[in-house]
Amino acid sequence: MSYYKEKIIGLQVPNWKGKHFIPISSLHLLLQDQVQQIIEGAVQNGGIPVYQKEEAIQAVVRGGYRILGILILMEKVPMLTKFVGADGLIDKSLDSGLPYTENELEHILGDNYREFFDHQWSFSAPIFERSLLHRNLHKRTVLPFTTMTPIGDGGFANVFRVTVPGSHQRIEGRNVTTIQVVRKELKPSPTLNQDFDNEHHIISLLRIIKHPNIVLFHSAFTIDGVPSLLFEPAECNLKDFLRQDHFAVTPGQGMLDAFFGLSSGLREIHNYNFKDGNLRFIGCHYDLHPGNVLVKDGNFILSDFGISRLKHEAQGSRSEFKAATGVCEFDRERATKSIFGTLKTLHDNGEPNEKVKKWLRRLQDHGPANEAVDGLIDLVRDMLAIQQCDRPEILEVSERLFHIAERMRYARISKAFVSLFLHSDTAMRIERDRIEIWADEVGLDNTRRREERLAWFLTLRLDVLFERIHALLQGIEENILDLPETQKQKAYSSEYYTVRKNVDELWQLLSAETVGRMTRRLETLILGYEDTQEPHIDLKDLASYPRPQLLLGIKQALSALEEHQSQTSENLIRQSLLKDRREWNNKLLIRTEVPSQETSFAIVEFLRYDDHWLDRSDKLILRISNLISLWTTMNLQDSFPVLQCRWFCHFPERQAYGLVLPIPHALVPGDDLQVTTLAEMIKSTAKRLKRPNLDEIFMLAFNLATTLASFHKAHWLHKGISADNVLFFPKGMDALGKSVSSARLVGFSDGRESAEGAFTVGPSEDELLKLYRHPEYRRDAGNVRYREEFDYYSLGMLLLELGRWKLIRTMVKQDQLETLSAEALRGRLLEKEVSQLGSLMGVLYQNAVTSCLEGPHMGEGEQKKWQVWNKFETEVIQPLSRCKAICPGSGFLFGRWTSGNRSDRS
């Protein structure tokens, strides 16, 4: 036994006071393979009955190594059974009772208790972990701090950097030899316990929100009446950091990031919100100065909450200014003499310190031209306002610091993209456009008013947002700068994919509505590439962007129609393949039996040829054939709510070509084709209870608008928008109002490409379509070429019908319809019908309809197409998007119908 006694004595480690403790890991390593031998020795010596051997061994193995070690030093191992017998049949380890009180030991050991009591302290050194519960330690507890170096001495506490053996902590795991922590030991005072309870309460509340810019609190304990707090260590405080030689006046990116992080931490104190516990407080640090701001890994971290307070939200939080410190030169410049001596304050007897104001002017006037410096100086001036009501709140401070920091980073990214742009292909240029759109949306382009940027900022959790944006923008910058010259022409490098992934995530930080708006802007930019001097775009470069790829493909194909000479017409089929014909609304309902194709229901629309097409029949067939081939190849109906044309067929008896539009099986799952138009649905569901839900009407309106805008960007004009060209496929004619999700747009037979030289034949003679035509086009169709805003007018008439749930032809008496001019009809509808939309559909919807009907009043060529598209986006699509519930899993989301529960939000 003396062998193990000597080994245990040799394990003792002195702490900073010279008191010895035995690291639990060392003791365990010594005894873990020797327990059975030690207990068997006690059995052989007659100290432990043989029938108690196994229980004694198991008691040590389950957690009794410390007790066994103490008894080895006492040379009284058989007393182990007394501790087992005193466990009260409670499933706990023997060591969990340490340290025992004298009364407890006297009850267990009798006269031998005093020796055990004295030995136990070297075996009972605490194991520190991250815990919010305060521990009271016995005054004889040996703290396992091998070093304790003073690093601060304040009026309320002494601060030390402490070394803790790895086995006596569970803060950073057990695979470390030692760790460093900071010990804050409060000084004796009349309010010691109250001060400690307050700070412990505040730092515990702050720890559960886990903010990276608030010092990390580990644990709290009191020993011999002195409370202590353990914290994560830092490199230095801000006061010392600002006095280091490397510090420069001009703020770099790291400095700006650090100040934003600091403001984010302060915001959590000012507006404390712990959602899981339903806790809301407002607070104040009360002692914020550079000495209480720590610096670690480039971050500024709030610390020292000794006089801080968190009060319930209703109590309010007001504070006056306190003296602060700064860099050495600034200290000297702002020194002010008073009856209390020389003070270094930011204010002077209730007024701004003139020396501080002079210092700020000198920085701005004589320092290097720097947008970040100017922004910071303006912010400092605002924060130093005398009146509390004139000073910005912490949210605005954070927003402005964020904008300054991330604008500097974004400016470098933009500069890097300019260089890369000279070498890269379309794919990388698209990423440039995407990040520019994102930056414009969040205000990093510096053109938005502060109030607009702040409104966006309010919707996000600042610390999470900042960390994510910081990492994503940093990753984009690094990958662009590190891209080798040999790879700058290869868009599909790993660097490109990293850039694209990061830009994707930046977009995902924003709302679905905002992303939809940004996506439409991106489409406009991509489709504008070929209107510039840029080289032809390969569609494979757009593989990650199916909608722009699709639209650009349409645009390129239409542009090539006049040049391309098709040798065959594979899509031209015989009439004999069209079975079970049924006339319906100037169309045919049929069943197709095309060889090698699955039989399906279809609709046939007619493109009639007349004298206008004399000597142009080849061009007509070429247009139809190539257009159908394009639509078939690109599978439009997967991206837009349209019935796409698959084949065409000559109907000489009708002097027309029939465009065959197969109906997807999902819309007609059985053998009974049920189809109706929006006009028929409105007439059949006049009673309110039979109508579709309001959110579905909003959804349909938004969907039609975005689809029209998309085709315009592809340089295709519809020319036939009306309630008769919006089809539905109900499961039964008694369920019309529930079939809105099956809506499909048709009527493309009269459409054409919007290029200047595209052949056009003017308006069709369909009387129903006349009501939807723009007054200018009806008045002077022979001299005015059809253009985008004429489609927008037709859409406005259709949206009016949706909003009023009445057809145009029922809003005005029949005799008046025949006599009113198109201009007079528009005026009457605006005055009598559109004016009622506000109360029925809301002002946003009403304004969208008004914009469509009143139009931009632009003649041909007066504005570029993208300006027309943007105006439609701003005045129609965006208001409609806010009128309806667009969310994942509900309704139509960015060009695709999705399943899910309908939202009640309107």
pLDDT at 107: 92
* pLDDT at 54 exceeding the cut of 90: yes
Kindly state the average pLDDT of the residues 785-814: 90
Backbone φ and ψ for 165, nearest 5 degrees, come out as: -60, 150
In 3D, which of 84, 98, 91 has the Cα closest to residue 55? 84
Average pLDDT, the chain: 78
Q: Is residue 730 a contact partner of residue 739, using CB atoms and an 8 Å limit?
A: yes
pLDDT at 540: 55
**Does the 679-888 domain belong in CATH 1.10.510.10?**
yes
- What is the per-residue pLDDT across 359-413, written as a single tens digit (0 to 9) for each? 788 777 765 567 777 888 888 888 888 787 888 888 788 888 888 888 888 888 8
> Which neighbouring-strand residues pair with 588?
583, 604
Cα gap 335→331, rounded to integer Å: 6
- What is the per-residue pLDDT across 705-718, written as a single tens digit (0 to 9) for each? 988 888 887 777 88
The larger pLDDT score, comparing residue 647 to residue 165, is at 165
Cα gap 264→241, rounded to integer Å: 20
* pLDDT at 434 exceeding the cut of 70: yes
- What is the per-residue pLDDT across 539-571, written as a single tens digit (0 to 9) for each? 555 556 656 655 655 555 455 444 443 444 567
What CA–CA distances, in Å, run from 477 to 400, 468, 804? 22, 14, 52
- What is the per-residue pLDDT across 247-298, written as a single tens digit (0 to 9) for each? 444 457 788 888 888 888 888 777 665 555 455 555 566 677 888 899 998 8
Q: DSSP assignment, residue 688?
A: G
User: Which long-range CB contacts under 8 A does 499-505 form with residues at least 24 apart?
Assistant: 499/428, 499/431, 499/475, 500/431, 500/544, 502/472, 502/473, 502/475, 502/476, 503/431, 503/434, 503/435, 503/438, 503/472, 503/476, 505/468, 505/472
* pLDDT at 452 exceeding the cut of 90: no
In 3D, which of 561, 550, 576, 560 has the Cα closest to residue 625? 561
* pLDDT at 482 exceeding the cut of 80: no
Backbone φ and ψ for 135, nearest 5 degrees, come out as: -110, 135
In 3D, which of 771, 777, 820 has the Cα closest to residue 800? 771
- What is the per-residue pLDDT across 650-702, written as a single tens digit (0 to 9) for each? 887 777 888 999 998 888 877 888 899 999 999 888 887 778 888 889 989 99
What CA–CA distances, in Å, run from 111 to 67, 80, 724? 17, 15, 105
- What is the per-residue pLDDT across 636-654, written as a single tens digit (0 to 9) for each? 555 668 888 888 888 877 7
Burial 769-802 (b: 16+ CB within 10 A, else e): bbbbbbbbbbeebeebebbbbbbbbbbbbbbbbb
* pLDDT at 759 exceeding the cut of 70: no
**With helix as H, strand as E and coil as C, how does 740-761 read?**
HHHCEECCHHHCEECCCCCCCC
Task: Establish whether 731 is an annotated binding residue.
Answer: no
The larger pLDDT score, comparing residue 108 to residue 599, is at 108
- Residue 91 class from Cβ within 10 Å (0-12 exposed, 13-18 middle, 19+ buried)? exposed
Longest dimension (CA), the chain: 125
Range in 179-183, 588-592, 733-737 the model is least confident about: 733-737
Whether the full predicted model's pTM is greater than 0.85, yes or no, is no
* pLDDT at 156 exceeding the cut of 70: yes
